[in-house]
Amino acid sequence: AGLSISGSWAADMPAPFDNAADVKIALVRYLSTGDFFQAYLSGVETQAQALGVDLRILDSRQDAALQADMVDQAIALGVDGIIVQHGLTESMQDAVQRALDAGIKVVAFDVNVENEAVPQVEQSDRDLARLALEQAIKDNGESFTAGYVYVPGIAPLDRRDETWKEFKERYPGIKEKAQFGTLDNPIANANANQARSVLQANPDITVMFAPYDEFAKGVKIAVDEAGMSQDIKIYSADVSTADIAAMREPDSAWVATAATNPAVVGEVSVRTLAMLLAGEDPGASVIVPPTLITRDMLMDSDIKSMQDLAAKLPAFAHADVATPDWMPLPAR
Amino acid sequence: MSTTLQLKGIRKAFGSNQVLHDIGFELQAGNVTVLMGANGAGKSTLVRILSGVHKRDTGDIILLGRTFNPKTPMDAVAQGVVTVHQGINDGVVPDLDIASNLLLEYLATGGSGFWIRQGALKKKAQALADLVGISSSLDTPVHALSLADRQLVAIARAMAYEPRVMILDEPTSSLSAAEADTLFSLIDKLREHGVAILYISHRMSDIRRLADRIVVMRDGQISANLVEQPLPLNEAVNAMLGRSMDNTTLTISQTTTPSLRLSNAVLAQGAHPFDMTVHEGEVVAIVGLVGSGKSALANVLFGINPLISGTLQLADKPYCPTSPAKAIAAGVFLCPRDRGSNAVVPDFNLTHNITLPFLHKYSRFSWLRTRHEEKRSQQLLDEIGVVYQNSNDNIGTLSGGNQQKVSVARWLSESCRLLILDEPFQGVDIQARRDIGTHLRNAAGTRATLVLVSEIDEATEIADRIIVIAEHTLAGEQINQEPDLDLLLSMMASANNLGTTAA
Amino acid sequence: MNKVINLAIRYGFLTLLVGLVVFFSIAADGFAGPHSAVFIFQSVAITGILALGVTCTLVVGGFDLSIGSVATSSLMLSAYVMVVWEQSALVAIVLCLLMGALVGLVNGWLIVRMRVPDLLATLGMMFLLIGLQRIPTQGRSIATGMTLPDGTVAQGTFSPAFLALGRHRFDLFIERLLPVSVVVLLVIAVLVFLFLNYTRHGRLMYAIGSNERASSLAGVAVNKYKVTAYVISGVLASVGGMLMSARLGRGDIASGNNLLLDSVAAALIGYAVLGAARPNAFGTAMGALFVGILLQGLTMMNAPYYTQDFVKGAVLVLALMFTFSLSARQRR
Amino acid sequence: MNKVINLAIRYGFLTLLVGLVVFFSIAADGFAGPHSAVFIFQSVAITGILALGVTCTLVVGGFDLSIGSVATSSLMLSAYVMVVWEQSALVAIVLCLLMGALVGLVNGWLIVRMRVPDLLATLGMMFLLIGLQRIPTQGRSIATGMTLPDGTVAQGTFSPAFLALGRHRFDLFIERLLPVSVVVLLVIAVLVFLFLNYTRHGRLMYAIGSNERASSLAGVAVNKYKVTAYVISGVLASVGGMLMSARLGRGDIASGNNLLLDSVAAALIGYAVLGAARPNAFGTAMGALFVGILLQGLTMMNAPYYTQDFVKGAVLVLALMFTFSLSARQRR
Ligand SMILES: Nc1ncnc2c1ncn2[C@@H]1O[C@H](COP(=O)(O)OP(=O)(O)OP(=O)(O)O)[C@@H](O)[C@H]1O
Ligand SMILES: Nc1ncnc2c1ncn2[C@@H]1O[C@H](COP(=O)(O)OP(=O)(O)OP(=O)(O)O)[C@@H](O)[C@H]1O
Ligand SMILES: [Mg+2]
Ligand SMILES: [Mg+2]
């Protein structure tokens, strides 16, 4: 499907999209710095464009209180629908309720606003962690010495951490020798320093679980510097063109990452909202299934960038969720 | 007559340097005790002990029968011991207006209450300002005032309320006769009100005018305690120097090759143009009241301010400096007044302070040759007779007068065409003043020297020629042979006669 | 001529401020109007409060780098007191204020007694607090139902009274218009303004900032005032933290990492207001407002977050260049 | 007695440093040994280089808040030049150095000509750069194969020569021991040290820092030296950024705030070394090393990141308290 076609469909789109130009939606963001969020935004933009609706972006730059205000601002702007991207349950709950009271449809991505009127779009961090760890077990058997990169207090990381805990219980053979991690920026650089010390102290580590690509990048640098890229395997979550490059490097220790395509998640978020506005029910939670990406995959099918990835892995390119037949899809 | 303050066996050492040995004397109520002593004798240290800045090592101080050992300056002020310190920079708060500066103690001791009542403060401040004759509006920030006015502010503040003991450490060092007189009459008032006054100065005229008794310090000890009237000043001076003063008779040089020439020079808006010539090897003293334009002239010659109109010539070549650096390059040096803000580099030791302007002379390919530097600075320190422990000591450890000598020595290290010294004798003791004078004359060579002072006797002491400035223009001049002092004085005052005032 | 320059110096910045408001009101729909105005105030309330604290330390010639971390500490502390210790709002507030005051005392003590340079002392304090505030929860955010290090589950909740600090809005012409935080900001601004400009203590603090030695020789209790300044700044920072906590309804680790720089910016911009060329409460408030208006306006114009930083910086530099160069020119 | 205090002041801090090393060598296995030592240097190389720059500005009585953002800007710029413009390593390096110098010039110009207070000027510059560096890529990090705003795909790669800056290691007794970054740090440290302590220019810069007025009346070209200081700091920051970029092998999005704080910390800790009580190159280097050792040791002992901040702060405060209180005591 392409924009050209979507144009021809526009006629028989349900209200209010029969004249989409008058439909106004807002994206209220909590996090914005970094590739993932940039890609997510581009997804939102392309899908909004495909629908032909007017999109407003309110960016709270990691100020949860301000984010709540911005919902109110969106209300004041008289938007028809709001996408809440990340944030804190406690600070968003009331704001979202106010929006609903004002008759505005709301979709939440990666933040649980505890409100059944609000569908949850999720990239399912638990699944991400699960896929990566299953791969780790496939490669290294059920018992290995691991290093774990984790910074508590960040919602997605906390969710991925839960899965890690489960796995440690299920496979007592997994020995967590060291836990570290920091969000000092540049994140990769700071974590490289820590990982380097950890490797110095625990040369026996064979698996590094770094469920966030910035962490993984840091660990990889440390592994290379320690000249241990033969002895260590890195498993992570999330992916970007830069990550792909890193994974493709000659005998790179970064062997697998589980990821959803943030752009796709963005598109899905908009489509879900569109369905709500059209009076359809997308369901309580719309889950974008993650894909496992291994180094071998990248090498075998010569994948160099997110574009290649999308081209070679349809599952990654497009999630077949929230796609009623009237829904125009972005050009690809 | 009752004793207000009594000192017994005061001792103080800074590290290995024993500054005060067993100091003991008394201050009587309604009585001005002058404390004399050469630079570095220990006067200011004593003052700082009395005002709670330093704590004494041993000894007792008794204030009105009760032992007095102030922990902090606040403490001292609260007990009625008020001090005007030597450095002006320790006396005023530049960013605040005059009013607040005048009432700083008053505010500090809470006299003003919680809220500031601007009107009431203004009135109170105005009274003080009038007392010492500060003309500027009370809203002007102090950093906009000339040195003298700042000094007056500091003094007036001390007068803010009736102290029991008033300590004045070289209050006149940057005042000229006019302001000094107002100060003296104020001190007379205090004397009548029974305040005990400790007065420190190197100016004989002050001492002559004020002293009821003289305590003389030498190398941190009391070398004389004179009460008999009339006070034997010579005896005091001998006690202070440990010998009698060698009085130099200066032979007036009559050189004719002009070095610096000003034509139709206008120093300040609306001032009359004037011509002026300084010859090679000549020492010219420029005298004038505060605000008469001496520094204005200095600033022009040193490239800090441009000449409003007129031309400058140096060695028959046109000379128009645009920055101190350029002036120095052209062979014109200025030793500015107010060493505290204009000369002393507090973080540096003596050597580094001395070599600052001519570092390139002590470096090869901008690489410093420290040994060479050290040697030269020690020469200079000794030449100009600085009292110091070690040339690596921080300059802050020097006494006021010795700091002054260092900032003069800085400009004697290299030969130059024209040397300008603005108030070079600020806080320098009489003997040292003579020594510097002689040194300036003997080392003159082909150098022309301008000495800017506001005291005539300072001028007569060293100059070949005396030029009087008033109203930012030249008011007259005299060769320094039996000069007619009264005439000079009247020339200086001419500004006031005209009724207008510059600055 | 001089008169013109004078006017420019005094009112240049404020004119710029008004200019911005006018520009945005025309360019960005939804910018003008009482609600938007309130948003702006609310978005700068916390920064503003902290900035007023820094101003006090700047006045005595010091500088407080620890405010940001004090704020986040009080954010965490208040949450901990209510959620883990299950105490009342009052207890939380009192403890936070005490914490702020204590930090201020220690800072002051280090600076006046131990003679540690202010930047140094407060920087150390900053690192110390950043670490300290994470230790009790091992770096996790604090929310009802969280499991503590010792395995127990936290049962307490944010008391409604406390949450009201962040969420209640007073009626003003329009109902539910004025949020508590804005009221707090205004009150504190007025108090600090009066304190610095119309009390003898304020005057003496300025004296200390201008010439500490002379002030102490004049019998000013320099040390006492310096310590006071740091205590004020500490307490105000803790107030800011509490408001943040009340807005979030959760002890969120990630929040408030921009607080320090933004409030310092506000306080420093204040130098340029009314040509004061020195720290002053009114200027600080204007500075905070300035940043708020800028960001709000840019958001309303859909500018991405990084252009916001850029414009913020650019306008800041230009505005200051203007004011200071002029006032310098005039002083000569 | 006085002698003891004197010794304590001069060598207290260095003793502490040695103490730390001994302690960790015993407590943390793998801490002792050449590799670990080299790594400590490597981990502080970038901060150290930046800190040396700040030191120069501190010497002339200024302060440079923009270093962090200059570093990240040169990180982005170098990547952009090589990946997007497909230029050689040399071009990248030259442009980065020019950028750093230019920023320094502008900072200096704002401060000496426009009379903007240093904190203010450099703070504005900081915000400006943080925004600016993200505009070309719309906030995406830069890596081969990335899609640019205009839709084209970046084909360039990091030249091996450039990557070598971050990854090559010189042999020293042990082969492949000494990373380039460490060598650069040492060289710069020595140069700055010699410059500040043994050249005329360094001496004059200290004079300016101590009494600007007196210096200019002594014919010192105050403005020239001040600008120079900011240029040095800008250039060094850009060097740091390039090393980072060479290490990461991509242009990462980062604000550089942590770089700023850590290097300021290092420079300020320097005050305490050898009882200098003023900015000095040797002290700064020691300060950086100190932080590096602390973090390396703690990480090796598996201390979570927040305890590291805490210990960093605590030790910092204690060390400084000690030095400064003593040297103050001695002075009166
Ligand atoms: N803070 C200090 N540390 C070390 N030595 C000091 C300190 N202050 C003063 N001294 C020394 O104490 C001695 C006396 O200094 P003081 O300032 O009392 O002399 P003074 O009588 O006031 O001289 P002057 O007439 O020049 O003011 C000098 O040798 C000086 O070097
Ligand atoms: N009437 C004036 N017009 C312009 N500038 C002035 C005027 N009076 C003083 N100044 C400036 O103020 C500075 C000090 O000048 P001032 O007249 O106080 O020097 P002075 O007469 O030597 O005073 P003092 O006798 O205290 O040395 C000089 O730089 C001068 O340029
Ligand atoms: Mg003295
Ligand atoms: Mg004079």
Name residues whose C-beta falls within 8 Å of residue C27's C-beta, 6 or more positions apart in sequence: C297, C301
Count the Cβ atoms, other than its own, within 10 Å of residue A121: 28
Best of B14, B344, B386, B391 for a ligand 1 pocket test (most atoms within 8 Å of beta carbon): B14
Rounded to an integer, what distance in angstroms lies between the CA atom of residue A235 and that of residue A208? Answer: 6
Which pLDDT tens digit goes with each residue over B268-322?
A: 988 899 999 999 999 999 998 888 889 999 999 999 999 999 999 999 999 999 9
Which pLDDT tens digit goes with each residue over B148-179?
A: 888 889 988 888 767 899 999 999 888 878 88
How close does chain C come to D277, measured CA to CA in Å? Answer: 9
Atom 3, ligand 1: which residue's CA is nearest? B397
The verdict on B54 touching D (C-beta cutoff 8 Å) is yes
Is residue D50 classed as helix, strand or coil in its secondary structure? helix
Count the Cβ atoms, other than its own, within 10 Å of residue B309: 10
Residues of B in contact with C198 (CB under 8 A): 115-116
- In this model, does residue B497 exceed pLDDT 50? no
Rounded to an integer, what distance in angstroms lies between the CA atom of residue D203 and that of residue D60? Answer: 10
Rounded to an integer, what distance in angstroms lies between the CA atom of residue A276 and that of residue A283? Answer: 10
For residue B439, the CA-to-ligand 3 centroid distance in Å is 23
Predicted confidence at residue A156, as pLDDT, reads 85
The verdict on C24 touching A (C-beta cutoff 8 Å) is no
**B236 lies in a domain?**
yes
Looking at the structure, tell me whether residues B119 and B209 fall in a common domain: yes
**B292 lies in a domain?**
yes
Predicted confidence at residue C331, as pLDDT, reads 56
DSSP A50-111: HHT-EEEEEE-TT-HHHHHHHHHHHHHTT-SEEEEES--HHHHHHHHHHHHHTT-EEEEES-
**B221 lies in a domain?**
yes
Looking at the structure, tell me whether residues B236 and B286 fall in a common domain: no
Q: Residue C141: closest CA among chain A residues belongs to which residue?
A: A153
Residues of A in contact with C76 (CB under 8 A): none
Rounded to an integer, what distance in angstroms lies between the CA atom of residue B489 and that of residue B492? Answer: 5
Is residue B28 classed as helix, strand or coil in its secondary structure? strand
Which pLDDT tens digit goes with each residue over D200-218?
A: 999 999 999 999 999 999 9
* Binary contact (C203, B107; C-beta < 8 A): yes
Q: What is the DSSP letter of C141?
A: P
Range of the domain at B404: 281-447+485-502
Burial class (CB in 10 A: 0-12, 13-18, 19+), A113: buried
- In this model, does residue D79 exceed pLDDT 50? yes
Domains of chain D, residue spans: 2-331
- In this model, does residue B495 exceed pLDDT 70? no
Can you read off the two tokens belonging to residue A45?
Answer: 């933009």
- In this model, does residue D31 exceed pLDDT 90? no
Predicted confidence at residue B499, as pLDDT, reads 39
Question: Is the four-CA dihedral D219, D222, D223, D228 of positive or negative sign?
Answer: positive
- In this model, does residue B503 exceed pLDDT 50? no
Predicted confidence at residue C9, as pLDDT, reads 77
Domain end: B214, B241, B268, which one?
A: B241
Indicate the average pLDDT of chain B: 89
Domain end: B187, B214, B241, which one?
A: B241
Looking at the structure, tell me whether residues B423 and B354 fall in a common domain: yes
Burial class (CB in 10 A: 0-12, 13-18, 19+), B71: exposed
Per-residue pLDDT tens listing for chain C (332 residues): 678 877 877 888 888 899 999 999 998 877 888 888 888 999 899 999 999 999 999 999 999 999 999 999 999 999 999 999 999 999 999 999 999 999 999 999 999 999 888 988 999 999 999 999 989 988 888 988 888 888 888 889 999 999 999 888 888 888 778 899 999 999 999 999 999 999 999 999 999 999 999 999 988 999 999 999 999 999 999 999 999 999 988 888 778 778 898 899 899 888 888 878 889 999 999 999 998 998 888 888 888 888 888 988 898 888 888 778 777 766 54
**B206 lies in a domain?**
yes
- In this model, does residue B500 exceed pLDDT 70? no
For residue B298, the CA-to-ligand 2 centroid distance in Å is 9
Task: Give C154 or D236, the one with higher predicted confidence.
Answer: D236
Q: Which amino acid is at B406?
A: V
Predicted confidence at residue A7, as pLDDT, reads 44
What CATH topology corresponds to C2-331? ABC transporter involved in vitamin B12 uptake, BtuC (1.10.3470)
How many distinct structural domains can be found in chain B? Answer: 2
A255 φ, ψ (degrees, to nearest 5)? -95, -25
Looking at the structure, tell me whether residues B218 and B304 fall in a common domain: no
End-to-end CA distance of chain C: 14
Atom 25, ligand 2: which residue's CA is nearest? B290
pLDDT along chain A (332 residues), means of 10: 42 80 93 88 93 92 87 90 92 92 94 91 90 95 94 85 94 93 87 91 94 94 91 94 90 94 93 94 90 93 89 86 87 70
Among the partner residues A38, A190, A307, nearest to D140 by beta-carbon distance: A38
Predicted confidence at residue D329, as pLDDT, reads 65
The full 3-state SS of B385-447, as one line of letters, equals CCCCCCCCCEHHHCCHHHHHHHHHHHHHCCCCCEEEEECCCCCCCHHHHHHHHHHHHHCCCCC
Atom 28, ligand 1: which residue's CA is nearest? B40
* Binary contact (C217, B83; C-beta < 8 A): yes
Can you read off the two tokens belonging to residue C70?
Answer: 């004090």
Residues of D in contact with C131 (CB under 8 A): 306-313
* Binary contact (A91, C250; C-beta < 8 A): yes
Q: What proportion of chain B, given as a percentage, has pLDDT over 90?
A: 59
Which pLDDT tens digit goes with each residue over B66-113?
A: 999 999 888 898 899 999 998 888 889 999 999 999 999 888 887 778
- In this model, does residue D3 exceed pLDDT 80? no
Rounded average pLDDT over D5-30 = 86
Can you read off the two tokens belonging to residue A190?
Answer: 């700071």
Rounded average pLDDT over B480-494 = 84
Which pLDDT tens digit goes with each residue over C297-316?
A: 888 888 888 888 898 889 88
Name residues whose C-beta falls within 8 Å of residue D280's C-beta, 6 or more positions apart in sequence: D55, D196, D197, D270, D271, D273, D274
- Report the residue of A33, A57, A157, A185 to disrupt the D interface, i.e. the one with the largest count of D CBs within 10 Å: A185
Rounded to an integer, what distance in angstroms lies between the CA atom of residue B45 and that of residue B400? Answer: 11
Rounded to an integer, what distance in angstroms lies between the CA atom of residue C83 and that of residue C155? Answer: 6
Atom 4, ligand 2: which residue's CA is nearest? B268
Predicted confidence at residue D141, as pLDDT, reads 87
* Binary contact (D114, C271; C-beta < 8 A): no
Strands of A5-53, DSSP E: 24-29
